[in-house]
Amino acid sequence: MNLMDILQGQVSDEMLGQLSEHIGAAPEQTAQATNSIFATLLGGLANNVTDQGGLSALGAALDRDHDGSMLDDLAGMVGGMLQGDGQESRATNGLGMLKHILGDRQEVAAEQIGQSSGLSAGQIMKLLPILAPIVMSVLGKTKSSGGLDLGSLAGVLMGSAQQAQQQNGMGDLLGNILGSVMGGGQQQQQPQQQGGDLLGGLLGGLFGKR
C-alpha cells in the first residue's frame, strides 16, 4: 500500500485549480509542490511513529478526529478552508496538525519545497495547512477500512515514506527538510509492535541518520 498514490489520487483537477488560484501559481507548479508537501508530511509522521508515545498519540488522534469521512466531500472541505471557515474543526485544523507533524521545521519545509517547485516559501505556507488534513484523513480511512493496528499503521507509514523518498528524486529534499526534525537525537525508540525492523532500517536512509 502506497499512501503517496492514494494522496495524489485525492487531488482532482478542480481542486488543483482552486489551490493554484489561492496561491497565485501555475497548476504544474502547484501539483509539484503538493506532491512534495504530501511526501514531507508522510516523512514527518513516519519519524513521529518511531517513538511509542508518538505512535499512540497518532492512533488516538485518528480514532478521535479522522475517520476518513471528510474525503467524501473533499472539494467542499478545501473550498471551506480557502474561504477561511474550515479551521474551527479539529479534523480541519491544519495549523495544529503541522505543529505536531513538523514542529518548528515548517518554515524550513516551506523554503525547501519552494525551491524545488519554483514557488515562494509564502506560497508553500499557504498550501501546508490545507493539505495536512487530507493526509490525516487518508491515514484515518486507511487505518479503519483496513482494520490496521498501530504497528501495521506504522509499517504502512514507513514504507510509504520510503517510496516517497525514492519518487521523483525526493530523497535529497526530504533529507534536507526532515534531517533535523528529530531534534538531533541519535537514538530512536522503536514501536513495540510489528514493523520494528522496517522502521529501524528506513531511518538511516530517510532522515540522514547513521
Q: What is the pLDDT of residues 99-138, one digit of tens each?
A: 999 988 899 999 999 998 999 999 999 999 999 999 999 9
CA distances from 154 to 58, 80, 148 (A): 10, 31, 9
Rounded to 5°, angle at Cα 148 from 164 and 87? 65
Domain count, the chain: 1
Lowest mean pLDDT among 56-65, 95-104, 105-114, 190-199: 190-199
pLDDT, average across residues 14-28: 94
CA distance 162 to 47: 11
Question: Residue 200: pLDDT above 90?
Answer: no
**Contacts with 96 (C-beta within 8 Å, 6 or more apart), sequence order:** 90
The pLDDT, as a whole number, for residue 110 is: 95
Domain holding 98, by residue range, is 3-207
> pTM to 2 decimals?
0.82
pLDDT, average across residues 65-71: 87
The pLDDT, as a whole number, for residue 90 is: 79
Question: Residue 3: pLDDT above 70?
Answer: yes
CA distance 37 to 13: 17
Question: Residue 194: pLDDT above 50?
Answer: no
Question: Residue 185: pLDDT above 60?
Answer: no
Question: Residue 184: pLDDT above 90?
Answer: no
pLDDT, average across residues 146-161: 89
The neighbour count for residue 169, using CB atoms within 10 Å, is 9
The neighbour count for residue 5, using CB atoms within 10 Å, is 12
The pLDDT, as a whole number, for residue 182 is: 37
Question: Does residue 103 sit in helix, strand or coil?
Answer: helix
The neighbour count for residue 88, using CB atoms within 10 Å, is 9
The runs of H, that is alpha helices, within 49-120 are 52-65, 74-82, 94-102, 106-117
The pLDDT, as a whole number, for residue 81 is: 81
Burial class of residue 204, CB neighbours in 10 A (0-12, 13-18, 19+): exposed
Which run of H or E residues covers position 32?
helix 27-48
pLDDT, average across residues 40-64: 89
Tell me if 54 sits within 8 A of 154, measured CB to CB: no
